[in-house]
């Protein structure tokens, strides 16, 4: 028997080809797309489609919905962390956050990660596999359905390195942006990368209006290499030159993430060196106090030292803020919940 097609991986053009291939007019594709993002779980619910088409769709396609394995609600700030089970039994995490500018969902782009950042839980067991667009879209759909609240922003900052799964991520962005579907504006989508320079150049050529965040975490190569193996492949000069070019080409400010790790990258000298390197660039620095991960050796910085680091950057003319920590009581940092669950499953087996 032929395998059924995961219809949520289709953009409008592909849906058009699918329906015309079934002898139906192309406008049916728009109808199907709008149902998919209502979202409905069955073709039978697509009540404005002719019965014959519904039958053909049922025979050849399926609508992929994730299953909620665990859900943790933060008592302090309303953040909700989800652990979703995929069709093949793998797990991914997503986080729902309420901000003044709208509800935001942080999604995963891979199961695990192969980038090896020393403070991160997602990468502890390497990469298992890439997610396909339907699995990324599914995280947003499930959360919207569960909360009953509209999601207005998506950040690709969960498990995985989005640019290491380039074509699936780009397709996800294009599908979520489609007016016939979810119609999420490009400016409501943020992508965070550890700095895969070649892929950043590809992304720049797409000239999308999405927000780009780059995980810098250090003022120089020496410190960066201690925290991020990717720094051995791409030097900071090359990375920052690409960021400068990115801001010029797209006209969009680049956001730098800087995870503050005590005793490694948090000295006054580090802040000054960082400021020197970023001066003149259209950018913003987001300071993130490192969230201690059991398997990692780094402890949390004290609040005052992060504030001081921020002040030094500001005094040097660099726009920097400290990220508000949401969901600390629900293991909201990348990969922590999956790690716990995988550990438990391993113990059971």
Which residue, 78 or 229, is less far from ligand SAH as judged by CB? Answer: 229
By beta-carbon proximity to ligand SAH, the closer residue of 124 and 178 is 124
Run of H or E including 84:
strand 80-85
Q: How far is CA 261 from CA 37, 157, 217, 299, 300, in A?
A: 41, 19, 9, 8, 7
Stretch that binds ligand SAH, among 69-77, 89-97, 144-152, 286-294 (CB under 6 A): 286-294
- In the complex, the smallest distance separating the C-beta of residue 310 from ligand SAH, rounded to whole angstroms, is 15
Subset of residues 187 to 216 that bind ligand SAH, contact rule: CB under 6 A? 192-194, 215
Nearer residue to ligand SAH within complex by CB, 78 or 292 = 292
Q: Which of residues 326-345 bind ligand SAH (CB under 6 A)?
A: 333-334
Q: Which is nearer to ligand SAH, 31 or 139 (CB)?
A: 139
Contact set for ligand SAH, span 219-278 (CB under 6 A): 257, 259
Torsion, CA 149, CA 135, CA 176, CA 191, rounded to 10: 90
Considering only 32, 132, 157, 313, the residue that binds ligand SAH (CB under 6 A) is: 157
Q: CA separation (Å) from 282 to 224, 225, 285?
A: 22, 25, 11
Q: Is there binding between residue 119 and ligand SAH (CB under 6 A)?
A: yes
Task: Mark out the alpha helices in the chain (DSSP H runs).
Answer: 12-21, 27-36, 51-60, 133-147, 166-177, 197-206, 221-227, 236-250, 268-278, 303-315, 336-348
Exactly one of 36, 105, 120, 173 binds ligand SAH (CB under 6 A); that residue is 120
Applying CB under 6 A, the span of 36-44, 58-66, 128-136, 289-297 interacting with ligand SAH comes to: 289-297
From the list 31, 211, 291, 339, which residue makes contact with ligand SAH (rule: CB under 6 A)? 291
Q: Determine the Cα–Cα distance for residues 23 and 20; give it in Å rounded to an integer.
A: 5
> Taking CB under 6 A as the rule, does residue 104 contact ligand SAH?
no
Burial class (CB in 10 A: 0-12, 13-18, 19+), 14: middle
Taking alpha carbons only, the member of 111, 112, 161 closest to residue 135 is 111
CA angle 209, 96, 170 (to 5 degrees): 35
Binding segment for ligand SAH (CB under 6 A), chosen from 52-60, 181-189, 242-250, 285-293, is 285-293
Contacts of 276 (CB under 8 A, 6+ apart): 316
172 binds ligand SAH (CB under 6 A): no
What phi and psi, each to the nearest 5 degrees, are found at residue 236? -65, -35
Helix or strand or coil: residue 162? helix
Q: Which is nearer to ligand SAH, 183 or 232 (CB)?
A: 232
Report how far residue 241's alpha carbon sits from residue 245's, in angstroms, rounded to the nearest whole number: 6
Name which position in 7, 288, 312, 313 contacts ligand SAH (CB under 6 A). 288
Instruction: Count other Cβ atoms within 10 Å, centred on residue 280.
Output: 8
Indicate the residue among 49 and 218 with the shorter CB distance to ligand SAH: 218
Counting residues that bind ligand SAH (by CB under 6 A) gives 18
**Which of 59-67, 112-120, 131-139, 269-277 is the region at the interface with ligand SAH (rule: CB under 6 A)?**
112-120
Q: What is the 3-state secondary structure (H, E, C) of 263-280?
A: CCCCCHHHHHHHHHHHCC
Catalytic residue numbers read: 93, 334
Minimum distance from residue 19 beta carbon to ligand SAH (Å)? 36
What is the binding site for ligand SAH (CB under 6 A)?
A: 115, 117, 119-120, 157, 161, 192-194, 215, 257, 259, 288, 290-291, 293, 333-334
């Amino acid at each position: 028997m032929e395998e059924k097609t995961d219809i949520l991986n289709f953009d409008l053009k592909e849906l058009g080809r699918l329906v015309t291939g079934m002898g139906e007019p192309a406008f049916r594709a728009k109808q199907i797309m709008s149902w998919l993002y209502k979202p409905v779980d069955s073709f039978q619910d697509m009540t404005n489609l002719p019965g014959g088409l519904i039958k053909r769709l049922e025979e050849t396609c399926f609508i992929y919905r994730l299953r909620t394995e665990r859900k943790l609600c933060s008592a302090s700030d309303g953040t909700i962390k989800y652990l979703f089970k995929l069709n093949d039994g793998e797990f991914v995490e997503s986080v729902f956050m309420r901000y003044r500018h709208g509800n935001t969902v942080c999604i995963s782009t891979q199961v695990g990660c192969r980038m090896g950042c020393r403070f991160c839980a997602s990468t502890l067991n390497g990469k298992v596999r890439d997610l396909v667009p339907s699995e990324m879209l599914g995280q947003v759909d499930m959360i919207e359905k569960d909360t009953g609240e509209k999601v207005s922003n998506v950040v690709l900052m969960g498990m995985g390195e989005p640019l290491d799964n380039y074509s699936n991520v780009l397709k996800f962005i294009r599908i979520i942006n489609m007016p016939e579907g979810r119609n999420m504006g490009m400016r409501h989508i943020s992508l965070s990368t550890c700095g895969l320079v070649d892929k950043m150049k590809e992304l720049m050529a797409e000239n999308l209006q999405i927000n780009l965040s780059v995980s810098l975490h250090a003022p120089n190569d020496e410190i960066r290499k201690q925290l991020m193996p990717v720094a051995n492949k791409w030097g900071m000069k090359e990375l920052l030159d690409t960021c400068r070019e990115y801001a010029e080409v797209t006209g969009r400010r680049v956001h730098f993430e800087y995870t503050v790790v005590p005793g490694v990258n948090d000295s006054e000298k580090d802040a000054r060196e960082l400021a020197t390197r970023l001066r003149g660039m259209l950018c913003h620095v987001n300071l993130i106090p490192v969230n201690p991960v059991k398997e990692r050796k780094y402890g949390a910085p004290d609040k005052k030292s992060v504030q001081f680091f921020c002040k030094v950057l500001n005094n040097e003319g660099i726009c920097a803020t400290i990220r508000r920590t949401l969901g600390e009581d629900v293991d909201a940092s990348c990969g922590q919940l999956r790690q716990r669950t995988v550990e438990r499953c391993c113990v059971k087996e």
